[in-house]
Amino acid sequence: MTATMPQAAVGASLSPAAVARIRADFPILQERPHGKPLIFLDSAASSQKPVQVIEAMDDYYRRYHANIHRGIYHISELATEAYEEARSAIARFIGSPCSAECIFVRNATEGINLVAYSWGRSNVRAGDVILLTEMEHHSNLVPWQMLAQEKGARLRFVPVTADGRLDMNRLDTLLDGARLFAFTAVSNTLGTINPVRELCLRARAAGAVSVVDACQAVPRMPVDVTQWQCDFAAFSSHKMLGPTGIGVLWGRKDLLDAMPPFLTGGGMINVVRYDRTTFADVPARFEAGTPAIAEAVGLGAAVAYLTAVGMERVARYEHELAALALEKLRGIGQVVVYGPGIEHRTGVISITVGDIHAHDLASILDREGICVRAGHHCNQPLMEKLGVPATTRASFYLYNTPDEIDALIAGLEKAKRIFKLT
C-alpha cells in the first residue's frame, strides 16, 4: 500500500481535524456535481473509497496480478498471500477465531443465499418455522421465502413497534419451533440497532440457528461475532470503504464443515473423477471458480483503514452526526422521521417531508450537490407497514461533517419553498 494510513483520532469520537484528514483520503470528495461541492449522504447504499483502497488494487494489477492457489511462480504466490491475508484481516476485524470461517462471496446477498441453499436445503423440513423480522432487506427475505416454498416451511416475522424497534416481548413465542432466525443487526431504513447478542442467545436457547445480516453493522460499529454468539453473519465490502464485487459470509466452523457446496466447479474440489467428486475443506469448498482477487486486496486495505481510524470512533462519530441531524430535522415543520430515538439508532435517517415525493426531494437535493437515497430501500413490506410508498434516506459515515448536515437542512427548506409547504 503506497498511501499513508490515517492517524488514529484523539479522544472518544473523531475530531474535526481527524475528519479533515480522513476527507483528504477520498478523491471523490473533490468532485463538484452541478458546480457544488459533493455532499455524499448515501453511504448506507455504498460508501466512497479512500485512496489507500484504490492504490492497493492498482498496485495488485500493476505488480502481482496472477491467479491464486495454482501458480507455482513468484507473483502467483504474492497474489495468494495477499488474498489470504485479506481473509485473516477480515477475521481479526470481526472477532472470528479462525480465518477459514470467512468465506469470500460476491456480496451480502450471495452470503445469505449460500446459507439458504446449502444449510437451508439440508436442514429445513416441511412444517419448520423460519423466523425473520418485519424490517428485513429483500436480500434477507426473498431467499427465505424461496426456501420456505420449496420445503413447505412456514415464515414468521418479529413485529416492528411504532417506534421502529423489534417487539422483543413476542420473541420467545415466535421462536417456538423455529429452525432458523435471520435478522438484520441494523435496519437500512430505520437506522435501528438491534440487540444482536440477545437475539442470537434466545435463538440458540430455542434450538434455532441465527443468521445475522451484518451489512449495515460491520461498516459502522465494532463487530465481534464471538461476542454476538451468532451462527452466520453476512456483509458486503462496498459499504465499508472496500470495492464492489466482494463480500463475506462468516459461519461457525462446525456448521460450515457439515454443509454441502453451493456453487461447484474449479477451486472447490479435492479429487475429481468422471463420475464423482470430493470437495475441498472450507473456505475453498465455498469459493468455486477464480475469486475476486483484486477486490479481496481492496477489502483488506479497507479493513486496515477502518482499523487505523478505530471502529469505536467511527461509531461514536456517526452517532453524533445522527444526533445533530435529528435535532435539526425536528426544527423543520412537516418532516416525519422514521425509526427510534437516538439511543437506539445509528446514522441512517429516513424521512418524508409533507407530501413531497421522495424522488422530487432527492432531485432537488441533487441540484445542491447532495446525494441521498429515495425509494423503498429494498424494504417494500416495511414501507407498506409504515404506510408510505417511499422515504428519503440520508446516511452518514466517517467522512461527513456537521456542515453537510446544515446543507441538507437548507436543501430541505428549499424543497419546502418550491412545493409551497409552510
Ligand X SMILES: Cc1ncc(COP(=O)(O)O)c(C=O)c1O
Tell whether residue 108 is a contact of ligand X (CB under 6 A): yes
Q: What is the DSSP letter of 45?
A: T
Q: Which of 118, 133, 188, 395 binds ligand X (CB under 6 A)?
A: 188
Show contacts with ligand X in window 60-99 (CB under 6 A). none
Our measurement of the distance from residue 167's CA atom to the centroid of its chain's CA atoms, rounded to an integer in Å, reads 23
C-alpha cell at 228: 454476538
215 near ligand X (CB under 6 A): yes
Q: How far is the CB of 254 from ligand X (least distance, A)?
A: 25
* Site stretch for ligand X (CB under 6 A), options 48-56, 84-92, 209-217, 223-231: 209-217
Query: What is each CA distance from 144 to 76, 133, 138, 392, in whole angstroms?
Result: 39, 12, 10, 27
Give the closest residue to 379 by CA, choosing from 341, 355, 348, 342.
348
Q: Which is nearer to ligand X, 87 or 137 (CB)?
A: 137
How many Å apart are CA 312 and CA 394, to the nearest integer? 21
Helices and strands (H and E) in the chain: how many? 15, 15
Lay out the site mask for ligand X across 7-46 (x = CB under 6 A, - = otherwise).
--------------------------------------x-
Closest CA to 142 of 119, 113, 181: 113
CB of 216 to ligand X, least distance (A): 5
Residue 184 touches ligand X, criterion: CB under 6 A: yes
Confirm if 365 and 372 have CB atoms less than 8 A apart: yes
Nearer to ligand X, 46 or 277 (CB): 46
To ligand X, the closest distance from the beta carbon of 421 in angstroms equals 30
Q: How far apart are CA 30 and CA 187, in angstroms?
A: 30
By rule CB under 6 A, what count of residues binds ligand X?
14
Q: Give the Cα separation of 62 and 391 in Å (integer).
A: 43
Q: Which of residues 132-151 bind ligand X (CB under 6 A)?
A: 137, 139-140
**Considering the complex, what minimum distance in angstroms separates the CB of residue 332 from ligand X?**
26
Residue 216 lies near ligand X (rule: CB under 6 A): yes
Q: How far is the CB of 184 from ligand X (least distance, A)?
A: 5
The answer to whether residue 386 forms part of the interface with ligand X (CB under 6 A) is no
Strands (E), 88-171: 102-105, 129-133, 154-158
Of the candidates 37, 61, 149, the residue with the CA atom closest to the CA atom of residue 404: 37
Shortest reach from residue 213's CB to ligand X, in Å: 5
Q: How far is the CB of 208 from ligand X (least distance, A)?
A: 20
Q: Is 48 in the site for ligand X (CB under 6 A)?
A: no
**Among the listed residues 13, 48, 96, 107, the single contact to ligand X using CB under 6 A:** 107
Residues 228-287 that bind ligand X (CB under 6 A): 236
Burial of 34 (0-12, 13-18, 19+ CB in 10 A): exposed
> Is 47 near ligand X (CB under 6 A)?
no
Among candidates 196, 206, 174, 137, which has minimal Cα distance to 344?
196
**392 touches ligand X (CB under 6 A):** no
Q: Which is nearer to ligand X, 37 or 381 (CB)?
A: 381
Looking at the Cβ atoms of 118 and 216, the one nearer to ligand X is 216
Angle CA(233)–CA(342)–CA(331) in degrees, nearest 5?
140
Annotated active-site residue 378? The verdict is: yes
**Residue 140: closest CA among 157, 165, 123, 121:** 157
Question: Which positions are annotated as active-site residues?
Answer: 378
**Footprint of ligand X on this chain (CB under 6 A)?**
45, 107-109, 137, 139-140, 184, 188, 213, 215-216, 236, 378
